[in-house]
Amino acid sequence: MNIVPTLGLRCGEWQAALQAGREPAVIPAEPVPPVPRRCAPQHALSGYNTTRIVMEFMRWAVERDQFPTVEAIVRRFEVSRATAYRWRNYLGETYCLETLPPNEHEIARIGKPGAKARAKQPSGPGR
């Protein structure tokens, strides 16, 4: 059985047309409007191949005084936070670091207990 004549038709229409002994009327589909393409680059290194992106990132990371934070990577390369976390983790693996230095948002949290911890602390005249 050749399925070419049935492509794009529902089974009921084709069966009804076969029983009536005529070809089914094919209704042309409406043309789909073209999707506008984004001309803006996705990030600062878009258009470069992977090797070039890795080399640019490593050059920047080595020139820094401190281990790069996610926020610094996002600011410099205009990538998403997820990509920045991946790049930062890969950099840590490259240097065989067991733990990574804290990010900017983590630095603000160090030494500042959360609401639950503050509620558990005794508040008295000596405090």
* pLDDT per position as a tens digit, 70-87: 999 999 998 889 999 999
What the block records as the tokens of 93 is 């693996």
pLDDT of residue 33: 77
pLDDT of residue 73: 93
Higher per-residue confidence, 69 vs 26: 69
Alpha helices in 38-120 (DSSP H): 50-63, 70-77, 81-94, 104-109, 115-120
Q: Which conformational region is residue 96 in: left (phi greater than 0), alpha (psi within -120 to 50 degrees), or beta?
A: left
Question: Exposed, middle or buried, 17 (CB in 10 Å: 0-12/13-18/19+)?
Answer: middle
What's the pTM value of the predicted model, to 2 decimals? Answer: 0.51
At 2-57, the pLDDT tens digits run 555 555 555 555 566 656 666 555 655 677 777 776 665 566 677 778 888 889 99
Domain positions in the chain: 49-98
Chain mean pLDDT for the chain: 75
DSSP 93-107: HHTT-SSPPPPHHHH
